[in-house]
Structure 1
Amino acid sequence: MLKLRRVHHIALICSDYEKSKAFYTNVLGLEVLQEVYRQERQSYKLDLALNGAYLLELFSFPDPPNRPSRPEATGLRHLAFEVDDLDETIEVLLDKGITPEPVRKDEHTGKRFTFISDPDDLPIEFYES
Protein backbone atom coordinates (compact mmCIF):
# COMPACT_ATOMS: atom_id res chain seq x y z
CA MET A 1 0.00 0.00 0.00
CA LEU A 2 1.18 3.54 -0.72
CA LYS A 3 2.08 5.61 2.32
CA LEU A 4 0.47 8.92 1.41
CA ARG A 5 0.81 11.63 4.05
CA ARG A 6 -1.57 14.36 2.84
CA VAL A 7 -2.61 16.30 -0.24
CA HIS A 8 0.39 18.41 -1.24
CA HIS A 9 -1.36 20.86 -3.57
CA ILE A 10 -4.07 21.34 -6.14
CA ALA A 11 -3.19 22.81 -9.54
CA LEU A 12 -5.61 24.88 -11.61
CA ILE A 13 -5.21 26.41 -15.05
CA CYS A 14 -7.15 29.62 -15.53
CA SER A 15 -8.22 31.50 -18.65
CA ASP A 16 -7.75 35.02 -17.21
CA TYR A 17 -4.81 35.09 -14.80
CA GLU A 18 -5.43 38.51 -13.22
CA LYS A 19 -9.14 37.79 -12.71
CA SER A 20 -8.44 34.40 -11.13
CA LYS A 21 -5.59 35.77 -9.01
CA ALA A 22 -7.95 38.43 -7.63
CA PHE A 23 -10.67 35.83 -6.96
CA TYR A 24 -8.42 33.40 -5.07
CA THR A 25 -6.66 36.12 -3.07
CA ASN A 26 -9.27 38.88 -2.58
CA VAL A 27 -12.45 36.77 -2.45
CA LEU A 28 -11.26 33.49 -0.94
CA GLY A 29 -8.43 35.11 1.01
CA LEU A 30 -5.63 32.74 0.02
CA GLU A 31 -2.12 34.03 0.71
CA VAL A 32 0.42 34.51 -2.09
CA LEU A 33 3.56 32.50 -1.36
CA GLN A 34 5.31 32.98 -4.68
CA GLU A 35 4.53 34.31 -8.14
CA VAL A 36 6.72 33.37 -11.09
CA TYR A 37 6.44 34.27 -14.77
CA ARG A 38 7.88 31.52 -16.95
CA GLN A 39 8.85 33.30 -20.18
CA GLU A 40 9.53 30.12 -22.14
CA ARG A 41 5.94 28.95 -21.55
CA GLN A 42 4.32 32.41 -21.51
CA SER A 43 2.85 31.25 -18.22
CA TYR A 44 2.40 32.49 -14.68
CA LYS A 45 2.60 30.12 -11.72
CA LEU A 46 1.13 31.44 -8.50
CA ASP A 47 1.61 29.45 -5.28
CA LEU A 48 -1.16 30.08 -2.75
CA ALA A 49 -1.61 29.06 0.89
CA LEU A 50 -4.53 28.63 3.26
CA ASN A 51 -3.75 29.32 6.93
CA GLY A 52 -0.04 29.18 6.16
CA ALA A 53 -0.20 25.77 4.45
CA TYR A 54 0.70 25.48 0.76
CA LEU A 55 -2.49 24.52 -1.05
CA LEU A 56 -3.01 25.73 -4.59
CA GLU A 57 -1.01 26.36 -7.76
CA LEU A 58 -2.67 28.73 -10.19
CA PHE A 59 -1.34 28.57 -13.76
CA SER A 60 -1.95 30.65 -16.86
CA PHE A 61 -1.21 29.50 -20.39
CA PRO A 62 -1.94 31.17 -23.73
CA ASP A 63 -5.34 30.00 -25.02
CA PRO A 64 -5.93 26.97 -22.78
CA PRO A 65 -8.70 24.65 -24.01
CA ASN A 66 -11.98 24.55 -22.10
CA ARG A 67 -12.72 21.53 -19.92
CA PRO A 68 -16.13 20.56 -18.54
CA SER A 69 -16.13 21.18 -14.81
CA ARG A 70 -19.68 20.95 -13.56
CA PRO A 71 -20.10 18.55 -10.65
CA GLU A 72 -21.36 15.67 -12.78
CA ALA A 73 -18.68 15.94 -15.51
CA THR A 74 -15.74 13.54 -15.62
CA GLY A 75 -12.69 14.95 -13.88
CA LEU A 76 -12.39 17.26 -10.90
CA ARG A 77 -15.84 17.51 -9.34
CA HIS A 78 -15.25 20.59 -7.20
CA LEU A 79 -12.88 22.27 -4.75
CA ALA A 80 -14.29 22.31 -1.21
CA PHE A 81 -13.34 24.52 1.73
CA GLU A 82 -14.40 23.79 5.31
CA VAL A 83 -15.91 26.77 7.14
CA ASP A 84 -17.05 27.20 10.74
CA ASP A 85 -20.12 29.32 9.99
CA LEU A 86 -21.85 28.94 6.62
CA ASP A 87 -24.19 31.89 7.20
CA GLU A 88 -21.23 34.18 7.88
CA THR A 89 -19.45 32.86 4.79
CA ILE A 90 -22.52 33.59 2.68
CA GLU A 91 -22.72 37.14 4.07
CA VAL A 92 -19.08 37.79 3.13
CA LEU A 93 -19.65 36.39 -0.37
CA LEU A 94 -22.75 38.54 -0.84
CA ASP A 95 -20.79 41.61 0.34
CA LYS A 96 -18.25 40.83 -2.40
CA GLY A 97 -21.03 40.63 -5.02
CA ILE A 98 -21.06 36.82 -5.25
CA THR A 99 -24.39 35.03 -4.88
CA PRO A 100 -24.01 31.42 -3.77
CA GLU A 101 -26.38 28.63 -4.74
CA PRO A 102 -29.17 27.81 -2.27
CA VAL A 103 -27.87 26.07 0.86
CA ARG A 104 -28.12 22.29 0.79
CA LYS A 105 -27.88 19.72 3.56
CA ASP A 106 -25.71 16.60 3.33
CA GLU A 107 -28.17 13.75 3.81
CA HIS A 108 -25.55 11.56 5.45
CA THR A 109 -23.84 14.02 7.83
CA GLY A 110 -26.56 16.62 8.31
CA LYS A 111 -23.98 19.34 7.54
CA ARG A 112 -24.90 22.38 5.41
CA PHE A 113 -23.04 23.49 2.29
CA THR A 114 -23.28 25.78 -0.70
CA PHE A 115 -21.47 26.39 -3.99
CA ILE A 116 -20.14 29.32 -5.97
CA SER A 117 -18.10 29.32 -9.19
CA ASP A 118 -14.63 30.67 -9.76
CA PRO A 119 -13.94 32.90 -12.81
CA ASP A 120 -13.60 29.81 -15.04
CA ASP A 121 -16.81 28.24 -13.69
CA LEU A 122 -15.00 25.73 -11.46
CA PRO A 123 -17.42 24.79 -8.66
CA ILE A 124 -16.20 25.95 -5.23
CA GLU A 125 -17.96 24.42 -2.22
CA PHE A 126 -18.16 25.80 1.32
CA TYR A 127 -18.93 22.99 3.77
CA GLU A 128 -19.88 23.84 7.35
CA SER A 129 -17.91 21.93 9.97
Structure 2
Amino acid sequence: MSLLSGIHHIAIICSDYERSKTFYTQVLGMQIVREVYREERRSWKLDLALGTQYVIELFSFPEPPPRPSRPEAQGLRHLAFTVQDVDTAVAQLQASGVTPEPIRVDPYTGKRFTFFTDPDGLPLELYEI
Protein backbone atom coordinates (compact mmCIF):
# COMPACT_ATOMS: atom_id res chain seq x y z
CA MET A 1 0.00 0.00 0.00
CA SER A 2 1.34 3.43 -0.96
CA LEU A 3 2.01 6.01 1.72
CA LEU A 4 0.71 8.76 -0.58
CA SER A 5 -2.77 9.10 -2.03
CA GLY A 6 -2.33 12.18 -4.24
CA ILE A 7 -0.99 15.70 -4.57
CA HIS A 8 -2.78 18.27 -2.44
CA HIS A 9 -1.30 21.53 -3.76
CA ILE A 10 1.71 23.32 -5.14
CA ALA A 11 2.99 26.40 -3.27
CA ILE A 12 4.46 29.32 -5.22
CA ILE A 13 6.03 32.47 -3.75
CA CYS A 14 5.75 35.40 -6.13
CA SER A 15 7.57 38.73 -6.25
CA ASP A 16 4.56 40.86 -7.31
CA TYR A 17 1.30 39.54 -5.87
CA GLU A 18 -1.14 41.48 -8.08
CA ARG A 19 0.79 40.66 -11.26
CA SER A 20 0.91 36.94 -10.41
CA LYS A 21 -2.73 36.89 -9.28
CA THR A 22 -3.75 38.37 -12.64
CA PHE A 23 -1.55 35.87 -14.52
CA TYR A 24 -2.88 32.76 -12.78
CA THR A 25 -6.55 33.85 -12.76
CA GLN A 26 -7.00 35.86 -15.96
CA VAL A 27 -4.33 34.41 -18.26
CA LEU A 28 -4.43 30.76 -17.11
CA GLY A 29 -8.08 30.84 -15.97
CA MET A 30 -7.72 29.40 -12.47
CA GLN A 31 -10.54 30.07 -10.01
CA ILE A 32 -10.03 31.75 -6.64
CA VAL A 33 -11.00 29.48 -3.76
CA ARG A 34 -9.87 31.80 -0.95
CA GLU A 35 -7.78 34.96 -0.58
CA VAL A 36 -6.37 35.91 2.81
CA TYR A 37 -4.04 38.66 3.99
CA ARG A 38 -1.91 37.44 6.90
CA GLU A 39 -1.04 40.63 8.79
CA GLU A 40 1.52 38.98 11.09
CA ARG A 41 3.55 37.86 8.05
CA ARG A 42 2.70 40.82 5.78
CA SER A 43 1.76 38.15 3.28
CA TRP A 44 -1.09 37.34 0.91
CA LYS A 45 -2.18 33.72 0.45
CA LEU A 46 -4.32 32.95 -2.59
CA ASP A 47 -5.79 29.46 -3.02
CA LEU A 48 -6.46 28.58 -6.66
CA ALA A 49 -8.32 25.72 -8.34
CA LEU A 50 -8.68 24.19 -11.77
CA GLY A 51 -12.33 23.19 -11.97
CA THR A 52 -13.03 21.42 -8.70
CA GLN A 53 -9.40 20.50 -7.98
CA TYR A 54 -7.48 22.68 -5.52
CA VAL A 55 -4.10 23.18 -7.15
CA ILE A 56 -1.97 26.18 -6.18
CA GLU A 57 -1.24 28.27 -3.10
CA LEU A 58 0.14 31.60 -4.27
CA PHE A 59 2.05 33.50 -1.58
CA SER A 60 3.55 36.95 -1.34
CA PHE A 61 6.24 37.79 1.21
CA PRO A 62 8.17 41.00 1.75
CA GLU A 63 11.40 40.82 -0.27
CA PRO A 64 11.59 37.07 -1.01
CA PRO A 65 15.07 36.02 -2.17
CA PRO A 66 15.33 34.94 -5.81
CA ARG A 67 15.74 31.24 -6.51
CA PRO A 68 17.94 30.14 -9.40
CA SER A 69 15.92 27.96 -11.72
CA ARG A 70 17.83 27.73 -14.95
CA PRO A 71 19.67 26.06 -16.45
CA GLU A 72 18.79 22.75 -14.85
CA ALA A 73 19.19 23.89 -11.24
CA GLN A 74 18.38 21.50 -8.40
CA GLY A 75 14.83 21.52 -7.09
CA LEU A 76 11.50 21.73 -8.82
CA ARG A 77 12.20 21.71 -12.55
CA HIS A 78 8.78 22.85 -13.78
CA LEU A 79 5.04 22.62 -13.19
CA ALA A 80 3.04 20.93 -15.97
CA PHE A 81 -0.64 21.44 -16.80
CA THR A 82 -2.66 19.22 -19.13
CA VAL A 83 -4.56 20.73 -22.06
CA GLN A 84 -6.86 19.20 -24.66
CA ASP A 85 -5.32 21.13 -27.57
CA VAL A 86 -1.87 22.68 -27.23
CA ASP A 87 -2.34 24.87 -30.33
CA THR A 88 -5.46 26.48 -28.88
CA ALA A 89 -3.77 26.95 -25.49
CA VAL A 90 -0.71 28.54 -27.11
CA ALA A 91 -2.95 30.93 -29.08
CA GLN A 92 -4.70 31.96 -25.85
CA LEU A 93 -1.37 32.55 -24.10
CA GLN A 94 -0.09 34.61 -27.02
CA ALA A 95 -3.29 36.69 -27.03
CA SER A 96 -2.51 37.50 -23.37
CA GLY A 97 1.04 38.57 -24.18
CA VAL A 98 2.74 35.33 -23.09
CA THR A 99 5.33 33.87 -25.48
CA PRO A 100 5.62 30.08 -25.22
CA GLU A 101 8.54 28.13 -26.65
CA PRO A 102 7.97 26.26 -29.92
CA ILE A 103 5.74 23.19 -29.56
CA ARG A 104 7.70 19.97 -29.26
CA VAL A 105 6.81 16.27 -29.33
CA ASP A 106 7.70 13.93 -26.45
CA PRO A 107 9.80 11.20 -28.13
CA TYR A 108 8.54 8.56 -25.69
CA THR A 109 4.80 9.28 -25.63
CA GLY A 110 4.30 11.08 -28.94
CA LYS A 111 2.41 13.83 -27.06
CA ARG A 112 2.84 17.53 -27.88
CA PHE A 113 3.99 20.07 -25.28
CA THR A 114 5.45 23.52 -24.80
CA PHE A 115 7.00 25.61 -22.03
CA PHE A 116 6.42 29.20 -20.92
CA THR A 117 7.07 31.14 -17.72
CA ASP A 118 4.97 32.87 -15.10
CA PRO A 119 5.71 36.53 -14.20
CA ASP A 120 8.61 35.45 -11.94
CA GLY A 121 10.20 33.13 -14.50
CA LEU A 122 8.82 29.90 -12.97
CA PRO A 123 8.91 27.36 -15.80
CA LEU A 124 5.44 26.07 -16.69
CA GLU A 125 4.50 23.40 -19.22
CA LEU A 126 1.39 22.68 -21.26
CA TYR A 127 1.11 18.97 -22.05
CA GLU A 128 -1.51 17.82 -24.55
CA ILE A 129 -3.55 14.79 -23.51
TM bucket (normalised to shorter chain) is: over 0.9
Q: Deviations over 1:84-107 (max 9, x none)?
A: 101111111111111110111111
The residue aligned with 2:96 is 96
Q: Deviations over 1:47-83 (max 9, x none)?
A: 0001111110000000000001236111110010000
Root-mean-square deviation (Å): 1.1
CA distance in 2, matches of 1:73, 1:11: 18
The residue aligned with 1:74 is 74
**Any stretches of 5+ residues in structure 2 without a counterpart?**
none
Higher mean C-alpha deviation, range 67-76 or range 96-105:
67-76
The residue aligned with 1:65 is 65
Aligned amino acid, residue 66 of structure 2: N
Give the fraction of aligned pairs with identical amino acids, expressed as a percent: 64
Q: Is the 8 Å Cα contact of residues 31 and 52 (structure 1) preserved in structure 2?
A: no
Q: Is the 8 Å Cα contact of residues 98 and 116 (structure 1) preserved in structure 2?
A: yes
Q: Is the 8 Å Cα contact of residues 71 and 78 (structure 1) preserved in structure 2?
A: no
Q: Is the 8 Å Cα contact of residues 70 and 122 (structure 1) preserved in structure 2?
A: no
Give 4+ residue runs of structure 1 displaced > 4 Å after superposition: none
The residue aligned with 1:18 is 18
**Any stretches of 5+ residues in structure 1 without a counterpart?**
none
Give the superposition deviation at 1:2: 4.4
Q: Deviations over 1:9-68 (max 9, x none)?
A: 000000000000000000110100000000000000000001111110000000000001
Closer, same or farther: CA 76–103 of 1 in aligned 2, 3 Å:
same
